[in-house]
Amino acid sequence: MRFNEQEASSDLKIHTNRIERPQPRHGICFWGGMKRRDFIMGWFFCAVTVALAECLRADEIKAIDNTSMLRNALFERRVITFSYHGHARTAEPHALGKGTEDKPVLLAWQTGGGSQTEPPPGWRVFLLAEITGLTLTEATFAKPRPDYGSHQVGRGLKSVDAEVAAE
């Protein structure tokens, strides 16, 4: 029995110092038997999925950043400025909580800027994920508005997580 041309299996031939693999069949590569087209499409869908996940995470991160800044504004009774639905706004934050769809919201007394519904001043509920350009101003407000209280729950606010510091 000669070793250098002995056939070890139907697919592999053993020669003196090397193993020869069979030639690839048309359209198949040998990292898992996957066609090149399937590999490219799989990679593409993976990249799209990661990009969508990053977008969703970006909204969550923005809401978390806004929440921490707004908690400081509530504690220090600081006036805030931000953009919401294309309008620059100035407001006195009074409460953070969950809205009617369990999304994080801000209840604030809007003192200036624009609005799609009615001109300020007035109570507004803002979705945190849609607030952009949030800044805390140096201005403060002395105390919560006289008409602020537990009756605010129910006007767009389902539950309160944090509220403005009382006097």
Residue-level pLDDT at 5: 47
118 falls within a domain:
yes
For the domain that residue 76 is a member of, what is the CATH number?
Answer: 2.30.30
- State how far the Cα of 163 lies from the Cα of 128, in Å rounded to an integer: 15
Q: Which domain holds residue 86?
A: 62-163
Say what the pTM is. Answer: 0.61
- Indicate if the pLDDT at residue 20 is higher than 70: no
138 falls within a domain:
yes
36 falls within a domain:
no
Query: pLDDT tens across 121-141, in order?
Result: 888 999 998 999 999 999 999
Q: What share of the chain is helix, strand, coil (3-state, %, to 5)?
A: 30, 35, 40
Residue-level pLDDT at 30: 47
48 falls within a domain:
no
Please, which residues bridge with residue 6 across strands?
Answer: none
Residue-level pLDDT at 3: 47
